[in-house]
A = this chain, B = another copy of it.
Amino acid sequence: MFFSKSFGYALRGVLYVALVSEENRRVQADEIAKRLAVPKHFLAKIMNRVVKEGILDSTKGPYGGFSVNGETLSSPLIRLLRITDGMEQFNTCVLKLRKCNKINPCPLHFLMVKNRDDLLKNFSQTTIADLLSQENKIGIQSIATV
């Protein structure tokens, strides 16, 4: 829960490229959008930011498209989340009280902080490669079936 659609598109896009890159070819935004049932131009903008961040490569022109690079597989999920959603959610009070901290906690502070830190830890430690090598085989169907 809790994350933007953009994050979902980014992750599914990267996973798709990584999966078909085992076939050692570039993947067009058009193909990704069709296979993942995602709006093409919106996806393209997100993929563009993923490329700028260095998690994927892209090439224009014929035979162009997106491809994995040396950073792709070792990128933790938090890198994608930072691109699409930012990190503010992990640093701000649930009740949006700026003065809330462990010294002056809001009523929900300690209720939330463990949960939030667990999630941040998961997203910091889990990489694209980890997702691809999960026991329950991750295949295209697991990111394409809307």
- Give A contacts to B, CB under 8 Å: 1-3, 5, 8, 11-12, 15, 77, 89-90, 92, 94-99, 104-108, 110-112, 115-116, 118-119, 122, 126, 131-132, 134, 136, 138, 142-143, 145-146
Contact = CB atoms under 8 A, between A and B. Distances in A.
Contacts of A2: 1-2, 89, 94
Q: Enumerate the 3 nearest inter-chain pairs by beta-carbon distance, A residue then B residue, closest first.
A: A1-B89, A2-B2, A8-B95
29 contacts: A1-B2, A1-B90, A1-B92, A1-B112, A1-B116, A2-B94, A3-B94, A5-B96, A8-B94, A8-B96, A11-B95, A11-B108, A77-B108, A95-B143, A97-B143, A97-B145, A98-B146, A99-B145, A106-B142, A107-B131, A108-B131, A110-B134, A111-B122, A111-B126, A115-B115, A115-B118, A115-B119, A115-B122, A118-B118
